[in-house]
Structure 1
Amino acid sequence: MAIEFAGSPGPTLGIEIELQLIDPDTRDLMSQSIGLLERCRKQGVEGVKAEITQSMVEVEAGICRDVKECRWLLEKRIAQLRSAALDMGVELCAAGTHPFQRWTDRRIFPSERYRYLLEKFQWLARRLTVYGLHVHVGVESGEKAIAISNSAIRYLPHLLALSASSPYWEGADTGLQSCRVGVMESFPISGLPYYFLNWQEFERYCDTLLQVRAIASLKDLYWFIRPNPAYGTLEFRICDAMPSLSETLAVIALIQALVVWIDEGFRSGARSKVIPMRRYWIAPENQWIAARDGLEGVIIINEDGARRKISEDISDLIERVTPVARRLNSYEELLYLKHMIRRGTSAARQRAVFREKKNLGAVVDSVVKEFKADLLVPTAGDRANEAVGISLQ
């Protein structure tokens, strides 16, 4: 079966952020997405969609040229969405998990797609109360999407470590920085993708699964990185949702620059499209280290087993992709990653709040506070100044 890949002329961006609907009084999740979506429809708020439970919505930025356009669109839509939510007594925030909600209290959103997921996956679908960031980057062809995906596997732990924001699950400290990825990996076709030699092999794989009815469509491939033929993109799905929009945009800038940097390596001959299988074999271990330890993790950096602190490897990666980011008009956002490394993950900040307050409601308050405060930051230039230690006052 031939799968047509729409193709994109340049590395355009498409963003999807899953947001939590919070009760300001109890700090628990609220099942209010049906009413909120209807209010958004009446008020003309665009780019807001349902998700699998009624305690979450997705806000998206369509096809954007660069990260700055993403910020403009996301700030506008989140502000409109939050205004509509506050009118209903609902607060918003973003993090990989809610610290104390019970998945048994959640209601599935009534749609054909989610009824299908519930029937197929049962308990797995019911407990899917996790929140992620999905980043689409336009690529020219399916062949390039596969080749770039194969190389980008090496850097997925870096993205996970930067975004890790899900240390708690149903009131318990999981000991992980991101427990969200563990929830996602419980699905049959999820986690890291298989190694495909080329687009034709990917087509054969998909054809096999469709023929035996293991999947109904390519939407059922829940990998942490996957080609999206309909959009002509490579979709990165490993990141937790992050409380701060500035952090989110910094990670988006890294992902876009990474895709272009890898592709330019292919074009120049500096990078081979053939990936040593030993690198693939160690990828799950590095992902686990990032999920458990975040930016403090020590990952395997080559097939001989040499190890390095992931924050140091991220710092080197920032330097490598900086020339690309400058051309993509995203250097200021990329620079913010250095601030993130110094500050630590959202997961670490959430734990610090709990150590001080001994209250998971206070953890929710801290995540909401970060989400609200960052929307008030006026310019990318101010964020870059903060990243290098220049006062914003």
Structure 2
Amino acid sequence: MTPIEFAGSRFFTLGVELEFQLIDRESFNLVPVAPTIIDHVPDALQSRVVQEFLQSIVEIRTGVCDTVDDAKEDLQATILAVQKVAEAHNCLLSSSSLHPFACPEDQVLSFGERYARIMKELQYVGRQFICQGLHVHVGMPDGETAIKVCDTIQAYLPLLLAPSCSSPFFRGEDTGFSSYRTKLFEALPLAGLTGFHQTWKGFEREVQMLRDNHVIADFRDLWWDVRPSPFLGTVEIRIFDLPLRFAHVLGLVALAQGLVAGLTRNMAEHQPISHQVLSRNKWQAARHGLGGIFVDPLGLLGHGSMPMVDALSRLITVVQPMLVSFGSQAYVAAIGELCQTMNGADKQRQLIAEGRNFPEMLQQLHNEYWS
């Protein structure tokens, strides 16, 4: 077995990746201008802005950050710079995780051998994949710690998904889901729940088996909801939709950091978890968002079924000592407030119910991003 070297990072450093849609300022439809936008980004920010699967999506990423404050400054600088370039090319950045009316078959694939290989295999499933998300990297000192976190955090990932949900519409229709992006993503091979690896050796064995049998060609083909990132020395949490507001992005980054810190300190027992419970909890978050039901398979938040909002509130309380130590409790307060209001999917439905059409809805959401 070929060992997988884990680079290792300082405990709980942060890296954040945001995938934005590029939409025309007049039609509000997706436009394939990512290569042009990236070419015109200032040289100092070139490493922060990269292409994604489709040319109507652009990814903005931070460097290595010690705190959420650092991530905030890093992201703001890049987003504002990219916004300026986008506006000069008659388009806007849009932060919902799924464009509400675009036709998937109209989208243009990004250049590159890997993207061509993926699309050749995915076919119609891949052509539907016009969704975006938020990824949060948290620094880990070694592979054993990373696997412990990846195994255990799966129990609580639905509590990170539910407040982030922002993808209720697809092809001009209400899907009935708070996060239809989640269901599109699960159609991809090797996406979703990861199973229980127990040790770094267990993870290495699985990756070796997948490579030996030509199931994966690249480590990045593991599209799990959470995965270790050996080359960066992080745990990468990938379950989020892209929140509609920047304040909620920061709140979820802070909550993820606090949860990871708690799990490394044995906040919950490292043990196998029922796949059925994990699947059901994730379904509840994707289908109903903050209106879902949650079952804690590890008992950290209590036993039995409970409303998703109660479980989220309890989680925030449990990780509060970690948030205080990081100085990030004020950021997570914005997520706690969602328990009394609405997530991004609810907001979009509210605007449509009030009589806005999709372009008007997208314009308003764009205007409110920094609020």
The interval holding the TM-score normalised by the smaller chain is: over 0.9
Indicate the SS of the match to 1:342: coil
- State the Cα distance separating 1:44 from its structure 2 match: 5.2
How far apart are 1:41 and its partner, in Å? Answer: 5.2
Tell me the TM-score normalised to structure 2 length.
0.95
Partner Cα separation in structure 1 for residue 332 and residue 45 of structure 2: 32
SS, match of residue 281 in structure 1: helix
Superposed, 1:173-188 pairs within 5 Å as 173-188=174-189
Q: Is the 8 A contact 2:268 2:298 kept in 1?
A: no
**Compared with structure 1, are the counterparts of its residues 46 and 197 closer, same or farther at alpha carbon in structure 2 (3 Å cutoff)?**
closer
Deviates more, 1:44-53 or 1:289-298: 44-53
In structure 1, distance between residues paired with 2:42 and 2:32:
18
State the Cα distance separating 1:46 from its structure 2 match: 4.5
CA distance in 1, matches of 2:265, 2:280: 28
Matched, 1:124 2:119: no
Q: Write the mapping of 1:29-48 to structure 2, written as runs, cut at 5 A.
A: 29-40=30-41, 45-48=46-49
Partner of 2:76: 75
Distance 1:200 1:302 in 2: 25
Match of 1:254 in 2: 255
The equivalent residue for 1:274 is 271
What are the Cα deviations for residues 371-392 of structure 1, in whole angstroms up to 9, with x where unaligned? 2x43xxxxxxxxxxxxxxxxxx
Distance 2:298 2:260 in 1: 22
Residues in 2 aligned to 1:173 and 1:75: alpha-carbon distance in whole angstroms: 32
**Counterpart Cα distance in 2 of 1:222 and 1:367:** 28
Shift of 1:201: 1.1
Residue by residue, what CA displacement relative to the aligned partner does 1:319-351 show, whole Å, maximum 9, x if unpaired? 111111111121111122122222211100100
Q: Structure 1: how far apart are the matches of 2:135 and 2:91?
A: 24
| Alignment gaps of 5+ in structure 1 | 375-393
Q: Does 1:361 align with 2:359?
A: yes
Which residue, 296, 316, 326 being the options, matches 2:324?
326
Q: In the aligned structure 2, how far is the partner of 1:192 from the partner of 1:292?
A: 17
- Equivalent pair of 1:176/1:292 in contact (CA under 8 Å): yes
Distance in 2 between the 1:349 and 1:97 partners?
14
Deviations 1:170-190 (A, max 9, x none): 101000000001111001101
2:42 and 2:126 map into 1 onto residues whose CA distance is: 27
Cα 1:59–1:262 change in 2 (3 A) is same
The reply on whether 1:292 has 2:297 as its aligned counterpart is no
Question: Separation in 1 of the partners of 2:348 and 2:29?
Answer: 16
Distance in 2, Cα, partners of 1:289 & 1:362: 29
Q: Which residue of 328, 340, 343 corresponds with 1:342?
A: 340
The answer to whether the 8 A contact 2:269-2:298 is kept is: no
Structure 2's unaligned 5+ residue stretches are none
The match for 1:111 is: 112
Task: Tell me which amino acid in the other structure corresponds to 1:353.
Answer: L
Give the distance between the partners of 2:329 and 2:16, measured in 1 at CA.
18
Tell me the amino acid that sits aligned with residue 20 of structure 1.
Answer: Q
- Structure 1 CA distance for aligned equivalents of residues 337 and 93 of structure 2: 24
Amino acid at match of 1:274: Q
Instruction: Give distance in 1, aligned partners of 2:319 and 2:297.
Output: 20
- Hey, what does 1:245 align to over in structure 2? 246
Identity of aligned residues (%): 31
Offset of 1:126 from its aligned partner?
2.2
Per-residue CA distance 1:68-106 (angstroms, 9 max, x = gap): 000001000001000111111111111110110110110
User: CA deviation digits over 1:149-180, x for unaligned, max 9?
Assistant: 11111111001101000000010100000000
Alignment of 1:369-384 (within 5 A): 369-371=367-369, 373-374=370-371
| Superposition deviation, residue 256 in structure 1 | 0.3
Alignment partner of 1:352 is 2:345:
no
Cα distance in 1 for partners of 2:287, 2:145 equals 31
Separation in 2, partners of 1:111, 1:97: 23
Q: Does the 8 Å CA contact 2:152/2:268 hold for their aligned counterparts? A: no
Q: Say whether the 8 Å CA contact 2:97–2:181 is kept in structure 1.
A: yes
**Secondary structure in structure 2 of the residue aligned to 1:62:** coil
Query: Quick one: structure 1 residues 42 and 253, their matched pair in 2 at CA, closer, same or farther if it must change by over 3 Å?
Result: closer
1:310-325 alignment to 2 at 5 Å?
Answer: 310-325=308-323
- Specify the alignment match of 1:381 in structure 2: none
Query: Normalized against structure 1, the TM-score is what?
Result: 0.90
Distance in 1 (CA, whole Å) between partners of 2:81 and 2:359 is: 26
Aligned length: 367
How much does 1:45 deviate? 4.9
User: Could you tell me how far apart the structure 1 residues matched to 2:154 and 2:191 are?
Assistant: 14
